[in-house]
Amino acid sequence: MTRNPYQDDRGNKDRTITNVKGMGTLDPIRDGAATAKPAANGQFLIGEDMTGGYGMGADILHDCTIAVEKGEIAVIVGPNGAGKSTAMRAVFGMLNLRQGAVRLDGHDITGLTPQARVAHGMAFVPQTSNIFTSLTVEENLEMGAFLRRDDIDRTMEQVFELFPVLKDKRRQMAGELSGGQRQQVAVGRALMTEPQVLMLDEPTAGVSPIVMDELFDRIIEVARTGISILMVEQNARQALGIADKGFVLVQGRNRYTDTGQALLADPEVRRSFLGG
């Protein structure tokens, strides 16, 4: 391998969002079914009090709030089936909400299509099927920029700086890459839209611990450029370790919300969600 260690296999997901500066306060309420939500004011991106489900089916999300501030990393964790991916879809406009609103940089975007959200600076990397396997790496990145009318070469160079292995393999079919490399393609493709918010649903699924650490380092780098990161992660402990803010979801509801460090230090959270 090259010095870039993304080498496991797995799909990617990607999504990006837009804008603002957030100063939400966290009010963790630590009991049973209690909720813990950030204040709406000042969040760059917030899906607030979201209630809804798929089609005519029962509600999956119940009064669920997810938010991220400018340039920060927010991580959603919780058991399988908790509604983490559903919450991401709701924020990206892929779910009809019965209640609640999504705001980006202070603007209500609840009624916008996912495509319109991309145009407003949101990018989303979904949990699965997040790359075009029969296109080359370079073509995948170009697809990411299809909405742009300006010169995309500079952005592609930035993606290659972030993920050097993709430059080496730019003429290869994305489907031939390792899982970790595919995740890099998916994240890179999302970055090609020059998003203000990058939404990632389990970006490290199926990759080795080393590859996971490396990918987290790259995600931190992205956040330092001012892009907000909203990410679902099954590697909860490690993800909360790099999170400015963490959301623990259970059965479509907010269970705990706090800084990543506070959640990691909370005995109840540790016992129930982090394996002790």
Ligand X SMILES: Nc1ncnc2c1ncn2[C@@H]1O[C@H](COP(=O)(O)OP(=O)(O)OP(=O)(O)O)[C@@H](O)[C@H]1O
Interface contacts to ligand X, rule CB under 6 A: 54, 57, 60, 78, 80-86
User: By C-beta, is 86 or 183 nearer to ligand X?
Assistant: 86
In angstroms, the Cα distances linking 102 to 84, 211, 216, 225, 258 are 16, 33, 26, 24, 20
Shortest CB 155 distance to ligand X, Å: 30
d(CA 123, CA 200): 9
* Residue of closest CB approach to Mg ion: 85
Structure tokens at 163: 């993920």
Does 183 bind Mg ion (CB under 5 A)? Our answer is no
Shortest CB 214 distance to ligand X, Å: 22
Contacts to Mg ion from residues 36-55, by CB under 5 A: none
In angstroms, the Cα distances linking 219 to 97, 106, 215, 223, 264 are 29, 25, 6, 6, 20
d(CA 192, CA 155): 6
User: By C-beta, is 59 or 194 nearer to ligand X?
Assistant: 59
User: By C-beta, is 77 or 104 nearer to ligand X?
Assistant: 77
User: By C-beta, is 172 or 234 nearer to ligand X?
Assistant: 234
Shortest CB 29 distance to Mg ion, Å: 25
Does 184 bind Mg ion (CB under 5 A)? Our answer is no
Q: At residue 80, what is the residue type?
A: N
d(CA 150, CA 192): 11
Options 85, 130, 155, 204; binder of Mg ion; rule CB under 5 A: 85
Shortest CB 21 distance to ligand X, Å: 28
Shortest CB 123 distance to ligand X, Å: 19
Does 12 bind Mg ion (CB under 5 A)? Our answer is no
Shortest CB 138 distance to Mg ion, Å: 29
CB 63 within 8 A of CB 35: yes
Closest CA to 165 of 145, 141, 140, 185: 185
The 3-state DSSP class for residue 167 equals: helix
236 contact partners, CB below 8 Å, separation of at least 6: 75, 77, 273, 274
Could you tell which of ligand X, Mg ion, none binds residue 193, using a CB distance below 5 to 8 A set by kind?
A: none
User: By C-beta, is 10 or 84 nearer to Mg ion?
Assistant: 84
Does 86 bind Mg ion (CB under 5 A)? Our answer is no
User: By C-beta, is 10 or 103 nearer to Mg ion?
Assistant: 10
Could you tell which of ligand X, Mg ion, none binds residue 146, using a CB distance below 5 to 8 A set by kind?
A: none
User: By C-beta, is 84 or 253 nearer to Mg ion?
Assistant: 84
d(CA 221, CA 54): 35
Does 65 bind Mg ion (CB under 5 A)? Our answer is no
Closest CA to 159 of 142, 136, 135: 142
Judged by CB under 5 A, how many residues of this single chain contact Mg ion? Answer: 2
- Of the CA atoms within 13 Å of residue 70, those in its CB half-sphere come to 12
Rule CB under 5 A: which residues touch Mg ion?
Answer: 84-85
